[in-house]
A and B are shown apart, each in its own frame.
Chain A
Amino acid sequence: MTIDAANPIEQQKKQSIRRDAALEVTRLLPRPLLATLTVLLCALVLVPILYIFLASLNTDVGVASGEFWPSSFSLESYTKIWDSVGLAKAIGNSLIVSGATAIVSAIMAVGTAYVLVRFEFVGRLTVLRGLLGLQSIPGTLMLLPVFVLFSSAGTYLGVTVIGTLWGLFIAYLTFALPFSTWVMVTYLRGLPRELEEAARIDGASNLGILFRIIIPLSWPGIIVSAIFAFLLGWNDVLFASVFTRPDTHTAAVALQVFASAVEGGAIPVYSQLMAASLVCAVPVVVLYFMFQKYLVGGLTAGGVK
């Protein structure tokens, strides 16, 4: 290829043609098909989302009669939801339990993952395989024994666990820990060993390496594993529906109370349900999009919702 170096404009033009060509080369679909598919998929997602917004601004009667576009807009549902079922308290409970789960499981995951990735020992592969397998254990299988264990704690030890946030916290750790650890394992595998080796030559201990090298370098991984642990608690209905009392309800359970609440007439409080759904979804959506870059990678590594 001969490029006329004396003519910079010509050169630029050629480069831009080449860039376009490069784009053209990686193109997978003809333009019309690509546009159609994109629009269809976006509509599939966005139409229900738009509906939630509109319904939350509608009246209960309007939603019940199947209006898409509200005949009258009002923010009333957003003010009502706080009194009708104690949503604020429930969201507070969810934040406490999920936040605690996130912090504890992320801290434990770093240490465990560090040993699993960097040191050889008998049974290491079994542990790794177990971490992955444990994530797929059905929650319904664990629910009953955990319930019995917790109620035995009441019978034999005199400690009330069921109905408290502690019980929920321990149950969520059950599921969060294998997952967080696995996320950290995949993250630490990607870190170069050279820094650790240099530190070791300089006389750093294992713990020194963990605290001065591994942890500062793996913040993205730690954040991802913490967020997934948080979401696990936030999204759970199964355990929360059995292990909570009205005053320890989580947001997920409180939303179910809305669904069965009937106000005044015979019409369920649909509009409030939609408003409350949005409120429950907001923390999650904000977390995701703040850390989207890291989360997508961590997700494909862990592979579990």
Chain B
Amino acid sequence: MASSVTEPRPSDSSPVARAAAGPGETTPPGKRRKGLSERNRPLWLLIPGGLLMTIVILVPLAMGIWMSLIDLDQYTLRRWVSAEFIGIKNYIEAAVSSDLLRSIWLSVSFAVISTAVTVPLGVAAAVVTQNAYRGRALVRSVFLIPYVLPSFVVASVWRTMLQPDGIVNVTLNNLGMDGGLWLNGPNSYWTLVWVEIWAAWPFIYLLALSGLQAVDHEVHEASALDGALWWNKLRYVIFPYLKGPVSLAFLLATLNHINNFTLPYVLFGAPAPSDVNVLPILVYVTSFQSFRFGLSAAMAVVSLILIAIPLFIYLRAVRLDVHEGGKK
């Protein structure tokens, strides 16, 4: 590190040398703090966590990429180290003769539609709980419920409600509409979107709420003085404050939707109907039901590349550190 030049070396850190430097030379506090921490950093504290993360994340990640390049099925799995290296054949097979491209389309469209609907819902929820009123704490708790419930519970419940003779279809019949099949056939895609929306909007609500709390009281006063109508105030005064947190929420929510395995798995089972054969399900079925492990690894790597794009944008946008001032 460049600043280490200014550090007192052990040889001249004796009291005499210090005194000789004199009281006239005062190091700025920032420098001193840094010097202090550099001399005696307990970096070994990083070892347990770092070691564990290396073993359980980085090694499997590297293995996953390696597996996508070898011929791995249930026969070669036990001796995976000596399995035949076949280069990008798995990738070619995934692209040409599997459901991969369709699954990518399903996953991306499902994720984007879900997020696009949850954003207005979440922002509306944040706006209605912004002002204090009697019972607001209760309403806020209610809004958190879908978020709090485990995904597997949410999916089990909706699957029960959406059975052919279940409560949803009975209600629709009573209203004079024909429900049809929700857990199979083309409607299943919209079932997945709907349940995801039901479970995920409170996430946007929470992030939008934190954005609203950043609006200063003076801003409210100024717009009241100008006599702004509520819609104009929302549109031109409040929403700009939400732009940052909500776009972050948008990215993050889309990532979470693409990666969501539990919801489609519990709602439709595996293998899933072709209309909801989203990426995580496809990868899962290819490895643990068809036992084409190499092919499945290739698909998983493709899904990693797919999420890398929004993930990269997110990592650029998020504030990593206190020292990185205006990067938020």
Interfacial residues, chain A to chain B (CB-CB below 8 A): 22-30, 34, 37-38, 41-42, 44-46, 48-49, 51-52, 55, 63-68, 108-109, 111-112, 114-116, 118-122, 125, 127-129, 132-134, 136-146, 148-149, 151-152, 155, 170-171, 173-174, 177-178, 181, 189, 193, 197, 200, 206-207, 210, 231, 234-238, 241-242, 252, 255-256, 258-259, 270, 273-274, 277-278, 280-281, 284-285, 288-289, 292, 296, 299-300, 303-305
Contact = CB atoms under 8 A, between A and B. Distances in A.
A122 B57 CA distance: 21
B151 A66 contact: no
A284 B152 CA distance: 12
A296 B202 CA distance: 11
A26 B49 contact: no
Contacts of B256: 304-305
Given A137-B61, A141-B304, A235 B238 contact: no
Consensus secondary structure, chain B interface: helix
A274 B36 CA distance: 59
B165 interface: yes
B262 A238 contact: yes
Given A23-B132, A128-B321, A136-B311, A63 B304 contact: no
A235 B300 contact: no
Nearest to B148: A288
A28 B311 contact: no
Top 4 nearest A-B pairs (CB, nearest first) are: A66-B170, A145-B60, A145-B63, A112-B49
B140 to A, nearest CB: 9
Contacts of A274: 157, 160
A173 B303 contact: no
Given A115-B46, A118-B37, A171 B150 contact: no
20 contacts: A23-B132, A26-B130, A26-B217, A41-B128, A45-B145, A51-B157, A68-B170, A120-B38, A120-B41, A128-B321, A134-B53, A138-B280, A142-B60, A144-B297, A146-B56, A210-B42, A273-B156, A281-B150, A289-B141, A303-B318
B104 to A, nearest CB: 13
Contacts of B88: none
Given A119-B41, A206-B40, A144 B300 contact: yes
B48 A111 contact: yes
B266 A140 contact: no
B34 interface: yes
A148 B63 contact: yes
Contacts of A296: 144, 206
B56 A170 contact: yes
Contact of B131 (A27, A149, A252): A27
Contacts of A41: 121, 124-125, 128, 143
Given A120-B38, A144-B287, A284-B150, A45 B259 contact: no
Interface string B265-277: 1100000000000
A276 to B, nearest CB: 8
B318 A259 contact: no
Interface in B260-293: 261-262, 265-266, 279-280, 283-284, 287-288, 293
A25 B42 CA distance: 51
A49 B127 contact: no
A22 B218 CA distance: 11
B167 interface: yes
Contact of B296 (A139, A144, A300, A304): A144
Contact of B152 (A140, A178, A237): A237
Contacts of A304: 252, 256
Contacts of B34: 120
Contacts of B151: 235, 237
A207 B41 CA distance: 10
B40 to A, nearest CB: 6
A125 B327 CA distance: 13
A146 B60 contact: yes
Contacts of A197: 33
A282 B90 CA distance: 44
Contacts of B61: 137, 141-142, 145
Contacts of A132: 314-315, 318, 320
Contacts of B224: 24-25
A65 to B, nearest CB: 6
Contact of A115 (B42, B145, B301): B42
B126 to A, nearest CB: 10
A234 B150 CA distance: 8
Given A141-B304, A305-B256, 4 more contacts: A38-B129, A68-B170, A136-B259, A138-B307
